[in-house]
Amino acid sequence: MFEFLSDSNTPAEMAHKAMFFDRYGVQEYYIYDIEHHTLGGFVRYNEDDDHLEEIPGAALENWRSPRLGIVLDMTSGTLVIRKPDGTPFLSYEEYVHIERLLDETRSELSETRSELDTTRNQLHASEQRASELAAKLRAMGINPDE
């Protein structure tokens, strides 16, 4: 479970959520304060653990999730979530930018396909016309291949 704090979150609400997640067996619970760039976390180190245990602050600087293998990297002073291989997940802005580029590329590809279809049709019509003209020349006793 991952929570991003906002101004509307109260300490009582967050304590209630933590107790709820603990009671219902959540294996990992992370809280990131966007405004203050702080990360807190709780984990059940083993599936048999009765309660979530708080992860010491220093350990969260470059924490690897025991269940997911993702890395919560705070070494730059802000949260960077990395895949198990160490590459960062895209930010929302990066994701939106890539989606826009993909949409533009898809649109250009669609236009190119349409132009290609038009060119194929024109080529087919030209080949048909050339074949018809060659047949007429042959009918007149002229070999169009010479």
Split the chain (146 residues) into runs of 10 and give each run's mean pLDDT. 89 91 94 92 88 91 94 93 95 92 96 96 96 94 90
pLDDT of residue 111: 95
Q: For residue 9, give both structure tokens.
A: 């979150």
Which residue is it, tokens 């979150």?
Answer: 9
> Which residues are CB-neighbours of 6 under 8 A, at least 6 positions away?
34
- The structure's pTM equals 0.65
CA dist 91 and 82 (Å) reads 11
pLDDT of residue 39: 95
pLDDT of residue 49: 85
pLDDT of residue 91: 85
pLDDT of residue 11: 87
- Give the H/E segment covering residue 106: helix 92-139
pLDDT of residue 24: 92
pLDDT of residue 108: 96
pLDDT of residue 45: 87
